[in-house]
Amino acid sequence: MEDVLCDFCAAPWTPERAMVEGHRGSCICHACLAVAYAELSPQPSRQPVGQGPCTMCLEDRGEPHWQSPARDAARICRRCARMAAVVLERDPDSDWSRPTA
Protein backbone atom coordinates (compact mmCIF):
# COMPACT_ATOMS: atom_id res chain seq x y z
CA MET A 1 0.00 0.00 0.00
CA GLU A 2 2.92 2.36 0.59
CA ASP A 3 3.65 2.19 -3.17
CA VAL A 4 0.54 4.23 -3.99
CA LEU A 5 1.10 7.94 -3.37
CA CYS A 6 -1.14 10.94 -3.79
CA ASP A 7 0.14 12.93 -6.77
CA PHE A 8 -0.84 16.15 -4.97
CA CYS A 9 0.76 15.71 -1.53
CA ALA A 10 2.85 12.50 -1.85
CA ALA A 11 1.08 10.88 1.13
CA PRO A 12 0.80 7.08 0.90
CA TRP A 13 -2.53 5.33 0.55
CA THR A 14 -3.83 3.82 3.78
CA PRO A 15 -7.25 2.49 4.77
CA GLU A 16 -7.80 5.83 6.54
CA ARG A 17 -6.67 7.88 3.52
CA ALA A 18 -9.09 7.10 0.72
CA MET A 19 -7.90 7.83 -2.82
CA VAL A 20 -9.32 8.09 -6.30
CA GLU A 21 -7.30 6.88 -9.26
CA GLY A 22 -7.11 8.73 -12.56
CA HIS A 23 -5.36 7.86 -15.81
CA ARG A 24 -2.03 6.04 -15.82
CA GLY A 25 -2.09 5.48 -12.06
CA SER A 26 -2.45 9.10 -10.99
CA CYS A 27 -4.11 9.42 -7.56
CA ILE A 28 -5.65 12.09 -5.37
CA CYS A 29 -6.26 11.53 -1.67
CA HIS A 30 -9.41 12.54 0.15
CA ALA A 31 -7.68 15.48 1.87
CA CYS A 32 -6.35 17.02 -1.35
CA LEU A 33 -9.66 16.40 -3.07
CA ALA A 34 -11.51 18.24 -0.30
CA VAL A 35 -9.29 21.32 -0.76
CA ALA A 36 -9.50 21.17 -4.56
CA TYR A 37 -13.26 20.68 -4.55
CA ALA A 38 -13.83 23.53 -2.09
CA GLU A 39 -11.65 25.92 -4.09
CA LEU A 40 -13.14 24.99 -7.46
CA SER A 41 -16.80 25.03 -6.44
CA PRO A 42 -17.79 28.46 -5.15
CA GLN A 43 -16.62 31.10 -7.64
CA PRO A 44 -15.36 29.40 -10.76
CA SER A 45 -14.65 32.63 -12.62
CA ARG A 46 -11.92 33.48 -10.07
CA GLN A 47 -10.09 30.19 -10.48
CA PRO A 48 -6.94 29.99 -12.59
CA VAL A 49 -7.51 28.50 -15.99
CA GLY A 50 -5.55 25.36 -16.70
CA GLN A 51 -2.07 25.77 -18.08
CA GLY A 52 -0.96 22.29 -18.87
CA PRO A 53 -2.68 18.97 -18.52
CA CYS A 54 -4.74 17.82 -15.56
CA THR A 55 -2.85 15.17 -13.59
CA MET A 56 -5.97 13.02 -13.35
CA CYS A 57 -7.36 13.06 -16.93
CA LEU A 58 -4.19 14.14 -18.76
CA GLU A 59 -6.20 16.72 -20.74
CA ASP A 60 -5.59 20.45 -21.02
CA ARG A 61 -9.25 21.47 -21.02
CA GLY A 62 -8.71 25.21 -20.60
CA GLU A 63 -10.98 25.28 -17.56
CA PRO A 64 -10.39 26.22 -13.93
CA HIS A 65 -8.07 23.92 -12.04
CA TRP A 66 -6.57 23.53 -8.59
CA GLN A 67 -2.80 23.33 -8.41
CA SER A 68 -1.18 21.57 -5.49
CA PRO A 69 0.87 23.87 -3.27
CA ALA A 70 3.06 20.90 -2.37
CA ARG A 71 3.78 19.67 -5.89
CA ASP A 72 3.87 22.36 -8.58
CA ALA A 73 3.21 20.06 -11.53
CA ALA A 74 0.12 18.46 -9.96
CA ARG A 75 -3.18 20.01 -10.98
CA ILE A 76 -6.76 18.81 -11.15
CA CYS A 77 -9.44 20.26 -13.42
CA ARG A 78 -12.90 21.05 -12.13
CA ARG A 79 -14.45 18.17 -14.08
CA CYS A 80 -12.08 15.63 -12.51
CA ALA A 81 -12.59 17.08 -9.02
CA ARG A 82 -16.35 16.69 -9.42
CA MET A 83 -16.05 13.14 -10.76
CA ALA A 84 -13.63 12.14 -7.99
CA ALA A 85 -16.02 13.58 -5.39
CA VAL A 86 -18.81 11.36 -6.69
CA VAL A 87 -16.53 8.32 -6.60
CA LEU A 88 -15.46 8.91 -2.98
CA GLU A 89 -18.99 9.63 -1.81
CA ARG A 90 -20.20 6.35 -3.30
CA ASP A 91 -17.33 4.32 -1.84
CA PRO A 92 -18.80 2.24 1.01
CA ASP A 93 -15.41 2.14 2.76
CA SER A 94 -15.11 5.92 2.81
CA ASP A 95 -17.04 8.37 4.94
CA TRP A 96 -15.91 11.27 2.75
CA SER A 97 -18.41 13.93 1.79
CA ARG A 98 -18.12 17.07 -0.29
CA PRO A 99 -17.08 20.16 1.61
CA THR A 100 -19.75 22.79 1.90
CA ALA A 101 -18.97 26.34 0.88
**Domain-embedded: residue 65:** yes
pLDDT (0 to 100) of residue 42: 66
**Domain-embedded: residue 68:** yes
Overall domain count for the chain: 1
Q: Which strand (E) or helix (H) includes residue 77? A: strand 75-77
**Domain-embedded: residue 79:** yes
List Cβ neighbours of 1 (8 Å cut-off, separation of 6 or more).
12, 13, 14
**Domain-embedded: residue 1:** no
pLDDT (0 to 100) of residue 43: 63
Domain that holds residue 33: 19-90
**Domain-embedded: residue 78:** yes
* In contact, 76 and 47? CB cutoff 8 Å: no
**Domain-embedded: residue 8:** no
Distance of alpha carbon 83 from the chain centroid: 9
**Domain-embedded: residue 41:** yes
pLDDT in tens, 12-65: 998 888 999 998 889 999 999 999 999 887 665 565 666 789 999 999 888 888
